[in-house]
Chain A
Amino acid sequence: MFDHRIYEQIERYLAGTMPAEEKAAFKALLLTDPRLADQVQEHRQVLQAMQHYGQRQQLRHKLNSIHTEMETGSKTVTSELTAWKVFFKKHAQTMAVAASVSLLSVFGTLWSVQQMKKPVQQQTARYIELRREVEKIKKEQRAIINGIASADAAAPAPRSARFSGTGFAISPDGYIVTSSHVIQGADSILIENKAGLKYKVTEVHRNTEYDLSILKVEDPAFAGFSKLPYTFKTASSDLGERVYTLGFPREDIVFGEGSLSSASGFEGDTTSYQISIPLNPGNSGGPLLDEKGNVIGVINGKQAGQEGAAFAVKSSYLLQMVSQMREREAGLAISLPQQNNLGGVSRTQQLKKLQDYIFVVKVYN
């Protein structure tokens, strides 16, 4: 019942070239006539398929001609490069593993060699300056205390010193000697003795070669120390002599005793003695005295990893330094003690007398 006129109508409808009223009528007809609607649907599909097919054929044709054109053209294909790429893709994982293994072994070897070297390093002589890092120790202690009883939170304490060492009076005029390394990098220096006397001091002379510094009390109210009970020995002391020191390796004054074990110091340093007194950080700058109460040296360090090998700068160098000072500043009031009050007194009595002239040197920075 359909003939080509209806087909023509459908085609015009699909192409959208139908006049408006005819289109409206056709649409109405489509609604009432499902067979016609099916027909239109089918028609559309076939036409689309055919057109697509045609386009596709054309495209294929085009591509084929491009292909032949390409083949007649340059035949050299860069297959070298792609072959390499395939090879890389195939082995990339293996290569990555190999690379990481080799890296790991290189650094592992370096590290383990380092580790093996460590004990050797410890055996080699090392010099330790005995200045005490106060903050560090305090912090550690606080950590322990907090661990025990964390209940009471510590109130903000006044700023404490960063480093500390020991120093002792060399003249009643307010001169004190200590090790240079103790007050290295100091902003301000405070000294305090067992009796609780506190003074602010400044460095007036330094000799880094001997590791000695001379400090002077700055306090205007300072009236001078009382007469010093000890003297300084100018001659060299003998091997085996009983010696002792007082110092501040902790908050309180600590006595240490031993003997003079060598007339030269670390690595043959002739400016110092080797002594067998157990010393700790904080002892630096303390006096080294012999049995008769003569100052024979100034404690300044010990050897790491070696038992009982501590060092003290010989007192003759201290005296040399004082005379240098005198030369530089004429009329300088620095009177060294001339009379020893400690000879023939028992050790405990000696210490009692000494105590007041030995100071903890607190360094702030």
Chain B
Amino acid sequence: MRKSLYETDEAIMEGIRNDDERALAHLYKLHFPMISHFIINNSGTDDEAKDIYQEGVIVFYEKIKSNSLELSCQIKTYLYSVCRRLWLKRLAEKGRYANRIEDSENYLSLEEDVPQHEENERQFGVMAEALDQLGEPCRTLLEDFYIRAQGMQDIVEKFGYTNTDTAKNQKYKCLQRLKKLFFTSYKPEV
């Protein structure tokens, strides 16, 4: 990886916008030590650090992808702020209140970005659960069709249906169930 390519924040953001995986990898590696140190210093573990950091990167990534990021500081500060907030929340959930957080960086309060992310997380949680309850082969069928966007013909062959009509019918039934499962536990807070 040529490091010089992503030396500035702008270059990294541009890279992410253009779906450049190297930009993401570079960003990830660049700031992980900072967050890892922060979490471990504030009564966290390596795994928790990884978890929180990934969430933080996801928030950042999705903000860039949806073009709704108005960065008024360095990426570093933004990530630190997001992760700090997420970690405080995590600590609160664990019932451990951090009375004294040891900061190594300056941070922003980020009133809007994190709650939006939490709402998304909740939705994904529900979706994951619904998909789990759906069971096979419905789950794979739907994932193949909607997420991996495979053609009907491929699916017919993969699952051994007699024709596309049967597959479509099966897919319809599966989707019907998924919807039921999803909406019983998820009410959008809009």
Contact = CB atoms under 8 A, between A and B. Distances in A.
Interface residues of B, number: 44
Which 4 pairs across A and B sit closest by C-beta, in order of nearness? A54-B147, A4-B172, A85-B104, A82-B37
A42 interface: yes
Interface in A1-27: 3-4, 7-8
Contacts of B88: none
16 contacts: A3-B172, A4-B168, A45-B188, A49-B123, A49-B127, A53-B147, A54-B147, A56-B124, A59-B61, A64-B54, A66-B29, A77-B37, A85-B105, A86-B103, A89-B104, A90-B102
B145 to A, nearest CB: 10
Given A4-B168, A46-B178, A85-B105, A60 B54 contact: yes
Interface string B36-55: 11100100000000100010
B34 A70 contact: no
B182 A67 contact: no
Contact of B104 (A51, A70, A86): A86
A133 to B, nearest CB: 58
Interface string B9-22: 00000000000010
Nearest to B172: A4
Contact of A79 (B33, B103, B168): B33
Contacts of B120: 52
A67 B54 contact: yes
A45 B38 CA distance: 37
Interface in B135-149: 142-143, 146-148
B28 A54 contact: no
A59 B121 CA distance: 14
B171 interface: yes
Interface of A: 3-4, 7-8, 42-43, 45-47, 49-54, 56-57, 59-60, 62-64, 66-67, 69-70, 77-79, 82-83, 85-86, 89-90
Contacts of A3: 169, 172
A43 B179 CA distance: 8
B34 A82 contact: yes
B69 interface: no
Given A62-B21, A86-B103, A52 B142 contact: no
B179 A79 contact: no
A7 B175 contact: yes
A50 B183 CA distance: 13
B103 A53 contact: no
Contacts of A62: 21, 24
B5 interface: no
A8 to B, nearest CB: 7
Contacts of B61: 59
B98 interface: no
A54 B123 CA distance: 12
Given A7-B175, A63-B28, A79-B33, A50 B127 contact: yes
B104 A77 contact: no
B103 A89 contact: yes
A47 B146 contact: yes
Nearest to B21: A62
